[in-house]
Amino acid sequence: MEFKEELKMYQQMINNELETHVRKEDCLEKVLNQSMEYSLMNGAKRLRPSIVLATYKIFKEDIERSMPYAIAIEMIHNFSLIHDDLPGIDNDDFRRGRPTNHKKFNEATAILAGDGLLNNAYMVISKDIENTQDIEEIKRKVKIFKEFTIAVDRMIVGEYVDTEFEKKEISKEGLEYIHNNKTGALWKICVRMGAILANCNKEDLQRLTNYSEKIGLAFQIKDDILSEEGDEKILGKPVGNDKVAGKCTYVSEYGLQGAKDILDKITKEAIEELEIYGEKSRFLREFAIYLKDRIK
């Protein structure tokens, strides 16, 4: 199966599952539920949950068993986007070509919609653990749940440090700290969840963790590059906001070409981590290239 075809398959599976978590009932919090649905079911690329499934598939074929964790990741991702767009953080008016959540509804509703998605992610995983019978499998899932909560915490920490250092000097180590937490933590847990759920050995887990750390950084560097030279019509949001806000990025620190050189280097390193798996890791290898070459 070609990469794009497999990605499309994962996207459809994930969308179908997410639909089962959308609340449609007529109730007092109906608008809040609509706000959560607005951000969750907005035609996103579903990259993070796809990585959970694809990593699991390196070792096992029954990928539906990893679906609750893929869904939880997507809920967390959308929670973070709603909050990132708020006036007190990035103050963005558009996300994926549509008004951001607080522009579509209002700021209070957007904040609570983000909170709702955050909590729903924990509920999805908790329910899956509750329905698991095998003791060893429960232990693996509890380990994943712990790592998941830590990853979400680090993502929030990274966002805080990013906003705190707007228009301020920051070291290269500080820049890496921001990105390893703000963006990298979620990519890392995507890969580790799929691997741990599939009960891989320690060597495989370390190898895949190395891969996840590199693609996490690559994703953020590419975001920094697109913020500098991307096409607003394709991105669905304004270009140049990072520069206006005075954010420290890989482009501001290393220059546009320097950022591109680093991106090429770590993408190659990520792919090399997977060579041992041969055809089983083809999707993850091509995914690293996809992240490097993406235009939105």
- Greatest Cα pair distance in the chain: 54
The whole-angstrom separation of Cα 4 and Cα 63 is: 18
pLDDT at 24: 87
Of the ranges 81-95, 199-213, 233-247, which one carries the lowest mean pLDDT score?
Answer: 233-247
pLDDT average, residue stretch 171-183: 88
pLDDT at 249: 85
> Does the pLDDT at position 227 exceed 90?
no
Do 193 and 173 touch, CB atoms closer than 8 A?
Answer: no
Model confidence at 238, in pLDDT bands (50, 70, 90)?
A: low
> Does the pLDDT at position 230 exceed 70?
no
Concatenating the DSSP letter of every residue in the chain gives --HHHHHHHHHHHHHHHHHTT-----STTHHHHHHHHHHHTS----HHHHHHHHHHHHH-S-GGGGHHHHHHHHHHHHHHHHHHTSTTTT--SEETTEE-HHHHS-HHHHHHHHHHHHHHHHHHHHHHHHT---HHHHHHHHHHHHHHHHHHHHHHHHHHHHHHTTTS---HHHHHHHHHHHTHHHHHHHHHHHHHHTT--HHHHHHHHHHHHHHHHHHHHHHHHHHHH--HHHHTS-SSHHHHHT---HHHHH-HHHHHHHHHHHHHHHHHTTGGGGGGGHHHHHHHHHHHH---
pLDDT average, residue stretch 145-156: 97
For the chain, the first-to-last Cα distance in angstroms comes to: 24
pLDDT at 152: 97
pLDDT average, residue stretch 137-160: 96
Of the ranges 86-90, 134-138, 140-144, 172-176, which one carries the lowest mean pLDDT score?
Answer: 172-176
pLDDT at 229: 83
pLDDT at 292: 94
pLDDT at 264: 96
pLDDT at 167: 80
> Does the pLDDT at position 288 exceed 90?
yes
> Does the pLDDT at position 244 exceed 70?
no
The whole-angstrom separation of Cα 65 and Cα 55 is: 12
Query: Between residues 77 and 242, which one has the greater pLDDT?
Result: 77
pLDDT average, residue stretch 184-200: 97
> Does the pLDDT at position 241 exceed 70?
no
CATH code: domain 3-293 is: 1.10.600.10
pLDDT at 253: 85
Query: Between residues 142 and 243, which one has the greater pLDDT?
Result: 142
> Does the pLDDT at position 268 exceed 90?
yes
